[in-house]
């Protein structure tokens, strides 16, 4: 059984917080002490402190989220449009992506004012911090608005992150 759900950010804020937190950096990825997968290749980054928090360099203003949930197989798929205001000129976009598979061929970043579409050069996934860094060929300009669109899928898990299943007891009955 599949159910399509169209939600606004207010109704789904908690899910979005754990599913997809977006930020931009000053053109560099966070430095971490871990193994990082980059488009199929692996590299080791040697620094002392792990960085899990994204830099606070953009202002997301709106999330348009569409999700299809399969409650028999406990999987989901969908897309999100994130309206952002860039505060620092950069070509790098970072997001938390724990338990999320992104279709990298369909990533779309657009300048709202000029309708200019940006080209994704590459992406780097860090399996320790669950941060994905997208590097674009063009720079996003400070004090401008953009929309990033991602198609994604994943598994509905039992752990409390991303989209997860849970139960409660009401009148002695597990629901």
**Domain region containing 103:** 2-156
Count structural domains, the chain: 1
pLDDT at 49: 60
Q: Is 116 within the bounds of a domain? A: yes
Q: State how far the Cα of 47 lies from the Cα of 82, in Å rounded to an integer.
A: 31
Q: Is 168 within the bounds of a domain? A: no
Q: Is 164 within the bounds of a domain? A: no
Q: What is the pLDDT along the chain (175 residues), one digit of tens a residue?
A: 444 444 333 333 334 333 333 333 333 333 333 444 445 544 445 545 667 777 777 778 898 999 999 989 999 999 999 898 999 999 988 888 888 899 999 999 999 999 999 999 999 998 888 888 899 999 999 999 999 999 999 999 888 877 888 888 999 998 8
Q: Is 53 within the bounds of a domain? A: yes
The dihedral formed by the CA atoms of 19, 122, 92 and 160, expressed in degrees to the nearest 10: 10
pLDDT at 81: 96
Please give the sequence-ordered ranges of beta strands (E in DSSP) within the chain, or none if there are none. Answer: 2-8, 22-24, 34-38, 41-45, 58-70, 75-86, 90-96, 101-102, 108-111, 117-118, 120-126, 131-140, 144-155, 169-170, 173-174
Q: Which residues contact 165 (CB under 8 A, 6 or more apart)?
A: 74, 156, 157, 158
Using only the alpha carbons of the chain, give its radius of gyration.
17
- CATH number of the domain bearing residue 47: 2.60.40.1730
Q: Is 63 within the bounds of a domain? A: yes
pLDDT at 34: 42
Provide the token pair at 142: 């400070």
pLDDT at 127: 86
| CB 153 within 8 Å of CB 102 | no
Q: Is 175 within the bounds of a domain? A: no
pTM (2 d.p.): 0.68
Q: Is 142 within the bounds of a domain? A: yes
For residue 52, give the nearest of 122, 123, 124, 132 by alpha carbon. 132
Provide the token pair at 15: 């899910």
Q: Is 58 within the bounds of a domain? A: yes
pLDDT at 1: 47
């Amino acid at each position: 059984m599949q159910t399509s759900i169209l939600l606004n950010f207010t109704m789904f804020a908690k899910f979005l917080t754990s599913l997809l937190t977006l930020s931009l950096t000053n053109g560099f990825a966070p430095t971490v002490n871990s193994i990082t997968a980059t488009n199929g290749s692996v590299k080791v980054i040697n620094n002392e402190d792990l960085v899990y928090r994204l830099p606070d360099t953009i202002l997301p203003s709106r999330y348009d989220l569409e999700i299809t949930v399969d409650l028999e197989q406990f999987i989901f798929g969908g897309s999100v449009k994130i309206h952002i205001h860039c505060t620092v000129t950069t070509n790098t976009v970072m997001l938390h992506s724990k338990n999320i598979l992104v279709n990298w061929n369909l990533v779309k970043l657009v300048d709202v004012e000029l309708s200019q579409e940006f080209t994704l050069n590459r992406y780097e996934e860090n399996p320790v911090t669950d941060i994905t860094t997208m590097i674009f060929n063009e720079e996003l300009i400070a004090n401008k608005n953009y929309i990033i669109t991602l198609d994604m899928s994943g598994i509905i898990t039992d752990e409390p992150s991303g989209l997860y299943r849970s139960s409660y007891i009401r009148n002695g009955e597990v629901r």
